Structures are given as structure tokens and as C-alpha cells.
Chains A and B, each alone.
Chain A
Amino acid sequence: MTTTAIDEDLEELEIALGGAGPAPTRTVVAYGFWIFLLSDIIMFSGLFAAYAVLWERTAGGPTGAQLFDLKSVFIETGALLISSYTCGLGALSAERQHRNYFYFFSLLTFLLGGAFLFIEISEFVGMIDKGAGPSRSAFLSSFFALVGMHGAHVSSGLLWLVYMVAQAAAKGLTPVVLRRLLCFSLFWHALDIIWVGVFTMVYLMGAG
């Protein structure tokens, strides 16, 4: 029996006994990043709670129904949802070592995320021009804090995406780069989950 054959037998025995050693790095990294995402979601829950408490406190200023344009919110939502899909396809292409598909889907993700951010910033600028800035009322303070925090996350996600594409170009799709990419796609999908909460609670309930 050669050494490798013994090693293989030992490995199979370990797996059969349920003690196959430490979990794969990829699993551990994803778990750690998942803990970060959950703590980020808990941070968002504070902002959601503030908005839920303050949304009727308009101090005689404009209400959500007067300010929100559901058509642009719908386009924003669509852009972010499609970008989540293209991000997943990009991560899948990267895992299968299809580098050009990865670049293509990353570009789509970036453009859609950028479109989302552009619509959101135009909405903010329009509201501030109308005198409905964050200092107008408690409702608007909590609105800008919640939606602005989500927008800040999307902006940092876009920067991260550029950085990931640069890493893939410079280092290739190595296991390390793939794990970072996994974290990025988890982050991007989590942002979309938070946006589901935002468009339901802030826009759809506020405009109705």
C-alpha cells in the first residue's frame, strides 16, 4: 500500500465517522460574512423602527403621499432586482472560470446599481429643492436616514464591485478572489432584501 492510498483510506474513514476536520474555508468565510450581514440588518432595523415611530410626525410639512413618486420607485426597484440577478449570474460565471461572462455580468450589475443610485439621488435633490430636506420634520429626518443609509450601502457596493473586477483581472479567478466575490454577492443580495423592506414600508405604505 502506498502512502497516498493510506491517506485516502484515512480520509474516507474520517468522513464516515463524521469528523472530517475543519469546515472548508469557503464555508467558514461565508458564515462569518453572514454574521456581519445580520448585524448590518439589525443596524437597519433601528432605522426602520425610527421611521415606523416618526412617519406621521410631519410637523405641518409635506407627507409621504405628497412626496413619493411610485413610478420612479418601481423603476428603482426593478433596477436593483435585476442587478441582484446579474450579480448572481456573474458569481456563477466566475465560479465556472468564465472570465468574460463574469466581466459582462459585473458591468450590467454596475450599470443597474448606478441607475438605482442615480434615481435615488435625483429624488433626494428634488425633495430638498421643494423644501422637504431632512431638517423639515421628524418624518423626513427618519426617511433620509433610512433611505440614505441604504443608498450609502449601494454606493460602497459599487466601489467594492469595481475592486473585485480589478482583482479578477490582476490575479485571475483564484480561490481567494472567488471567496471575496462570494462575500460581495452576499452583500449585494442582502441590500436587495433591505430594499424590499424599504419600498414596502416607506413607499408603498407611505403613498397609499
Chain B
Amino acid sequence: MDGDAVRRHERSPGVEHGEETADFLSYTAGFGLAVALTIASFVVAKTDLLWAPGIPVGLVVLAFAQIGVHLVFFLHMGSGADNTNNILALTFGLFIVFLVITGSVWIMYNLSTNMAGMGMAGH
């Protein structure tokens, strides 16, 4: 038996062959995109490139784009082994995050506007 055959034979379930999920190029591409999106966010916030009331929307879009870049290029969503489970968990997590944030803002805004004399006093 040569060394490789021994390793194959004695390999316990679940021990990997040493697969690689990422390479230098994908990290660098992701880094470049993330830098561009970060700079774009600061430019949008600091200048009047966008119509003023549209700035928050622009910032949110840029933030989501950057989070997507991080997930794909740094966390290797979409290219890792057994990817379906990771994506399912991510989707469920994002759903909870969405519920917590929009739910809180929605309910608290309603409470605030219905609390005559207190809510809108700015305290």
C-alpha cells in the first residue's frame, strides 16, 4: 500500500481532502468592489450628486450592494461546499432582521404619533 492508499483507507467520515473555496483573485476583486462602494457611499452622503430626499435611498442601496459583495467574495456564499444550507440560514436570518427593524420602527412611529403632546415634543 502506498501512502495515498493508506490515507484513503483510514480516512474517517467527514475528513476533507483539503479543498479550497477561495483564491487570491476573488478576494482582490471583492476588495476592489467594496472599496468602490464605500467611497461611493461617502461621496453620495457628502455631495449633492443625488437629489437630497433620495440620498437615504441611495445610501441603503449602496449598503445592500456592499453587503452582497462581502457575502459573495469574502464569506464565499454561493461557492462553498454544501451551500444550500448556508443560503437557507442566511435567508431566515435576513427575514428576522427585517422583522425586528421594520417592525420596531413601524410600531414605535405609530405609538409616537398617537401620543398627543408627548411623542412629537422631540424628547
Contacts and interface: CB of A to CB of B under 8 A. Distances in A.
Contacts of B31: 81-82, 84-85
B89 A38 contact: yes
Given A42-B100, A50-B104, A193-B67, A21 B42 contact: no
A177 to B, nearest CB: 14
Given A4-B1, A53-B105, A27 B8 contact: no
Contacts, number: 147
A53 B59 contact: no
B96 to A, nearest CB: 5
Given A8-B8, A27-B81, A49 B15 contact: no
Interface residues of B, number: 57
A28 B74 contact: no
Nearest to B83: A27
B50 to A, nearest CB: 11
Interface class of chain A by DSSP? helix
Contact of B81 (A24, A39, A50, A78): A24
A84 B27 CA distance: 10
Contacts of A196: 63, 66-67, 70
Interface of B: 1, 5, 8-9, 13-16, 18-20, 22-24, 27-28, 31, 34-35, 38, 41-42, 44-46, 55-56, 59-60, 62-63, 66-67, 70-71, 74-75, 80-82, 85-86, 89-90, 92-93, 96-97, 100-101, 103-105, 108-109, 122-123
13 contacts: A27-B82, A30-B80, A30-B86, A31-B86, A38-B93, A42-B96, A42-B100, A45-B100, A88-B74, A92-B24, A196-B70, A200-B62, A204-B44
